Amino acid sequence: MTYILKPQLHHPKLATNALGFTRRDYEGSVSTLCAGCGHDSISAAIIQAVFELEIPPHRIAKLSGIGCSSKTPDYFLGASHGFNTVHGRMPSVLTGANLANKDLIYLGVSGDGDSASIGLGQFAHAVRRGVNMLYIVENNGVYGLTKGQFSATSDKGSKSKKGVVNHDAGIDLVGMALQLGATFVGRSFSGDKEQLVPLIKAGLAHKGVAFIDVLSPCVQFNNHQGSTKSFDYVREHNEAVNKLDVITPRAPIHVDYAPGTTVKVTQHDGSVLSLHKLAELYNPNNRAQALGYLQARQARGQVVTGLLYIDPESTDLHDALDTVDTPLNELSGQDLTPGAKALEAINAGLR
């Protein structure tokens, strides 16, 4: 976390989006993470995604837990309210915030320690509840802030910088999110902006739980030979299933990437997801197949990236609770307090 504010000077010719905001309006404080940290690339991808989606920055609420990744919400979207909560507990705080005001867009940022170790329970339960949010795990397989301990997503057999071999099985949050009922599950790589930005845009537009596991190598403690989350390892073992672009209805852009079929998915906010399949005929609408595909590739040592699963008919926790359209935090005393007369009837029933 930093107290260094960025200068507010803008280049007069900076590009603006339809709302008149420049990319700079979506930035935050200067990052205090290590130079070259994958997390900073993810912050940049978030900034670009929100800028391109033309979301007014104050309509996003960004929440995080504790750790390197959880520090990053200070480094993007400075005009948004942010909440750096308690270690492993971002999901519950975000759930409460979401219940209070369904009209904001919720972005939860967490890390592998925060979500797969101390916060595994909260991760699981927020996902199964269908809280409307984009949940990004910046996954480097290591505890960076406390200098290099294994995390629960470290793969079995991987080596720490000190040469210690991890003998615990790694947790795959993508597989878990699929099993727990997330309605949008993707994985990307911090160094692959071309894939990550559209994925974040799609995740923000998705109603319900959108989960993205972003492999983000730690330049200090997990970018060496023997690590399975280093830049080199991921680049060599990456197996992308599709590319996507979010097309907002207001400014439709169609970008045709690679050859192959195109699947268009209409999201609840009206935006359209175009899924560009690569060599394999990958259908992102089948949860069971997504799990099987993920595990088959994993067995071959491949890291599947892209949008693995999306349910275009997704619902969220507010649908389940059937809450009123007005955000709960905007209901007045008159809306909430039944009054003296109702109390008389209650008293009468208690005699």
Partner 1 sequence: MSVEVDPVSAKAIGGTVVNDFVVKFANVNGSGSASANGMFAKSILRCGVPVAARNIFPSNIQGLPTWFEVRVTEAGHLGRRGGVDMMVAMNPQTWDRDVAEIEPGGFLFYDNTKALPPAKFRDDITVIGVPLTAMCNDRYELPRERQLFKNIVYLGALAALLGIDPAVVEQILSEQFAGRQKLIDANFEALHMGVSYVRENLGPIRLQVRKADKVGNRIYVEGNAASALGAVYGGATVCAWYPITPSTSLAEAFTGYCEDLRTDADGKAKYAIVQAEDEIASIGIVVGAGWNGARAFTCTSGPGISLMTEFIGLSYFAEIPAVIFDVQRGGPSTGMPTRTQQADLIGAAYASHGDTKHPMLLPADPGECFTMGALAFDLADRLQTTVFVMLDLDIGMNEWLTEPFAWDDKRQLDRGKVMTHDELEAGADFGRYKDVDGDGIPFRTYPGVHPSKGAYFTRGTSRNPYARYSEEGSVYVDNMQRLLRKFETAKTLIPAPIARKARKKTSDGVIYFGSTTPSMHEALDALEAQGRHLDALRVRGFPFAEEVYEFVAAHERVFVVEQNRDAQLRTLLMNEGEIDPAKLVPVLHYDGTPITARYIAGEIGQLMGLGQIKAAE
Residues forming the site for partner 1 (CB under 8 A): 1-3, 56-59, 61, 63, 73-74, 78-86, 89, 91-101, 103-104, 121-122, 124-125, 129, 317-318, 321-325, 328-329, 331, 333, 335-340, 342-343, 346-347, 350-351
How far apart are CB 19 and partner 1 at their closest, in Å? Answer: 9
Tell me if 142 sits within 8 A of 222, measured CB to CB.
Answer: yes
Closest of 214, 35, 208, 29 to residue 115, by C-alpha:
214
How far apart are CB 82 and partner 1 at their closest, in Å? Answer: 4
Residue placing its CB nearer to partner 1 in the complex, 80 or 151: 80
Which pair of tokens denotes residue 94?
């975000």
Residue placing its CB nearer to partner 1 in the complex, 281 or 350: 350
Which pair of tokens denotes residue 43?
């912050």
- The number of beta carbons lying within 10 Å of the beta carbon of residue 236 is 11
Q: Which of the 8 DSSP states describes residue 194?
A: H
Report how far apart, in Å, the C-alpha atoms of 16 and of each of 78, 199, 252 are.
17, 22, 17
Residue placing its CB nearer to partner 1 in the complex, 12 or 338: 338
Residue placing its CB nearer to partner 1 in the complex, 94 or 202: 94
Q: Residue 263 phi/psi, 5° resolution?
A: -110, 130
Residue placing its CB nearer to partner 1 in the complex, 59 or 254: 59
Residue placing its CB nearer to partner 1 in the complex, 47 or 240: 47
AA identity, residue 33: L
Q: Residue 149 phi/psi, 5° resolution?
A: -75, 155
Q: What is d(CA 351, CA 349) in angstroms, rounded to the nearest whole number?
A: 6
Report how far apart, in Å, the C-alpha atoms of 265 and of each of 49, 85, 239, 262, 315 are.
18, 34, 22, 10, 15
How far apart are CB 273 and partner 1 at their closest, in Å? Answer: 26
How far apart are CB 121 and partner 1 at their closest, in Å? Answer: 6
Residue placing its CB nearer to partner 1 in the complex, 36 or 121: 121
Which pair of tokens denotes residue 210?
């959108």
Which pair of tokens denotes residue 69?
């990744």
Q: What is d(CA 90, CA 246) in angstroms, rounded to the nearest whole number?
A: 27
Q: Which of the 8 DSSP states describes residue 311?
A: -
Residue placing its CB nearer to partner 1 in the complex, 58 or 235: 58
Tell me if 45 sits within 8 A of 53, measured CB to CB.
Answer: no
